Amino acid sequence: MRHRAAAAAALTLLIAAIARAEPDVSRGDEGLLPADEIVPGWKRAEPARVYAGPELYELIDGGAEIFFEHGFARVTVQKYALGADEIVVDLYAMRDAAAALGIYLGRCGDETPAPGLDLRHTAGRHELLAAQGRFYVVVENLSGRAERAADLVAFARALAPRLPVAEPVPVLDLLPKSGRVPGSERLIRGPLALESFIQLGEGDILQLGGQVTAAAASYQGPAGRFTLVVVPYADSSTARRAFAHVQAHLDREIRPLSRTASRLVFRDYSGTYGEVLLDEARIELRLGLAERP
């Protein structure tokens, strides 16, 4: 409960920061959405709806917090109809490309791309998820009928050229390629995303503040699979402060085994090992190790 309370307080500050940084969050992105008959037969069933800032809680029950942690501005929701069938397009405007990709990577699972669709996506019968530039996209087949799966791809194909061009997310390049499990890459900007790997400590234990973006992935090593998290800070002094914060606020269920000025080795509540390494302006975490490092 202490962890959740601290995370909630941090999210409140993030939402306020979004409102200050982007005063036009209530203005939607309807102009980017496909018009009537762009996908043959499909027409808008009702006016678009815009959910800005904390209004996202009205649209997403129980999952909005991770959007705020990555950097959410607004979502424009448009429903289309063809006979009795309906498709909904949710167009999420995020703070930047890392925010959009971070949400996508956390939700896409094993990607199943559709041939000829030129944007990062995964397509299924019930929904299509995509990310390009600062936008994260959900196209949902409300009827669930298999014959409408192709229409999900058609909507995404119509939307793709309207979105900003794809942008690289450089932090992913910090993840070594050797041994990396394909499709395991994730982005972290706060405690909620980190908790999917480990409950390292209370609140924003890595001192990311919604501004620093960390990259994570699974790796196959000689002793089995483990997780690597790479956190690049603005400078070495910021990294040192963050490392000291981890040392001082480690979760009480984690047992430190050795400590130095630049390395912490521990055993966690699952019985596996981990280490936190300080390297100049970077912190690296290795988690879920079967053997003590």
What pLDDT digit, counting tens, does each position of 120-151 carry? 999 999 999 999 999 999 999 999 999 999 99
Query: Which residue is it, tokens 């307080």?
Result: 9
Six-digit token pair at 43? Answer: 């027409």
Cα dihedral 28, 30, 31, 32, rounded to 10, equals: 100
Q: Do 46 and 155 fall into the same domain?
A: yes
Q: Do 152 and 65 fall into the same domain?
A: yes
* pTM beyond 0.95: no
Q: What is the pLDDT of residues 170-194, one digit of tens each?
A: 999 999 999 999 999 999 999 999 9
Q: Do 209 and 147 fall into the same domain?
A: no
Q: What is the pLDDT of residues 33-63, one digit of tens each?
A: 999 999 999 999 999 999 999 999 999 988 9
Q: Do 11 and 81 fall into the same domain?
A: yes
How many domains does the chain fold into? Answer: 2
Query: Which residue is it, tokens 């999952």?
Result: 63
The Cα–Cα gap between 65 and 60 comes to: 9
Six-digit token pair at 279? Answer: 């390297």
Could you say which of 144, 162, 180 is where a domain stops? 162
Could you say which of 121, 144, 162 is where a domain stops? 162
Q: Is 103 exposed, middle or buried (0-12, 13-18, 19+ CB in 10 A)?
A: buried
Q: Do 261 and 140 fall into the same domain?
A: no
E-state strands within the chain = 43-44, 49-52, 72-82, 85-94, 120-123, 127-132, 135-141, 186-188, 214-221, 224-232, 255-259, 263-267, 273-279, 282-289
Six-digit token pair at 235? Answer: 């400078």
Could you say which of 162, 195, 211 is where a domain stops? 162
Task: Please name the amino acid found at residue 51.
Answer: Y
Q: What is the pLDDT of residues 199-240, one digit of tens each?
A: 999 999 999 998 999 999 999 989 899 999 999 999 999 999
Domain span at residue 207? 170-289
Q: Do 282 and 196 fall into the same domain?
A: yes
Q: Do 112 and 186 fall into the same domain?
A: no
pLDDT given at position 207: 97
CATH number reported for the structural domain that contains residue 10 in this entry: 3.40.1000
Cα 48 from chain centroid (whole Å): 25
Q: Do 24 and 103 fall into the same domain?
A: yes
Question: How many separate helices (H) and strands (E) can be counted in the chain?
Answer: 7, 14
